[in-house]
Amino acid sequence: MNTDTLKKDDVIGQLSDDFKQKDRHGNIIAPDKIRKCGRRVRTIPGMSVVVPYIMRTRQDSSNLVKDTIRVDKIEEYIREKRAEGLTNFTLMHVLIAAYIRAVAARPALNRYIQGQRVYTRHNIEICLTIKKDMSLESPDTVVKVFFYPDATVYDVYNELNRVIEEFRADPGGDFEDTVKVLSFIPGLLFKGVMACLRFLDYFGMLPRFLTKLSPFHGSFFITSMGSLGIPSIYHHLYDFGNLPVFMSFGTKYRKNVLLDDGSVEKQSFVDYTVVTDERICDGYYFASGMKVLRSIIKNPRQLDNPPEKVVKDIK
């Protein structure tokens, strides 16, 4: 299968593009070219309006969730994809694609808090940290990939690999250049610069080119502890920016499981943790979103096709 030329319409019926941003001529804007992060959600219940003023920071409003997934079927799925030519296909691609699919069904997962108000994002911005190579001396950086909620696992694989290969071929880029410039500012002056940036960020006035680069602005941050050979961690959310969800997954392990018939079977598992900003939606909605995510991970072949329906967030 040629994944570079895979067309969604060849696999499933034409999806409505109402959830995608368009220019004044009606042409769809690429998800990485959108000029504004999102729009304010105005029809939420009164409690959802009040809560961000009570829990003012993400540290105040963080919920920590830990779950375990059996990965035997996922490993089989990964082998199938590698046989198709997706040579670098990993669990990371599955989890990112699954989260995007969960957002397609539960769009409130893609909200964020800005200036104590609730906004919903126009696209899905995935952040992750990568190294040029796995060594202590190798520098790391944060890359960001942009999607619409109808993305398939092939879209995720192609875009993520493109971004990573570009960085490893030529380390640095806009994010590294920006950080390098900031690092030259004297400490006391830098505190003033950050105060200014926080003020602008609170009112949504940060330049879009900065929020596109920033690892503190986005839909979802994912990190693999498994690549380091250690268990998953509960990674904190940042009070600067608007990132509402952070996922970490650990190394694979095997254990004996007692089956209903009394026999014992050795199965493979991966633990993952999710830290969420509970202000973006209520607990019932978050629980529903996590159930959707889990069901997708358990049946990853549905990620080969676009979703049959993309649910739009409320006004």
Asked if pLDDT for residue 134 goes beyond 60, the answer is no
CA dihedral sign, ordered 90, 96, 101, 106: positive
Superfamily of domain 9-304: Chloramphenicol acetyltransferase-like domain (3.30.559.10)
Kind plus residue range of the DSSP H or E element containing 120: strand 117-121
Which residue, 146, 150, 145, 154, is CA-closest to 6?
A: 154
Tens of pLDDT, residue by residue over 266-315, are 999 999 999 999 999 988 999 999 999 999 999 999 999 999 999 999 99
Tens of pLDDT, residue by residue over 88-133, are 999 999 999 999 999 999 999 999 999 999 999 999 999 998 876 6
Q: CA 265 to CA 268: how far, in whole Å? A: 10
Q: Where are the domains of the chain?
A: 9-304
Copy the structure tokens of residue 242.
């608007």
> How many beta carbons lie within 10 A of that of residue 164, not counting itself?
16
Q: Using CA atoms in the order 238, 242, 245, 248, what is the torsion angle rounded to 10 degrees?
A: -40
Report CA 56 to chain centroid distance, whole Å. Answer: 23
Q: How confident is the model at residue 185 (pLDDT cuts 50, 70, 90)?
A: confident
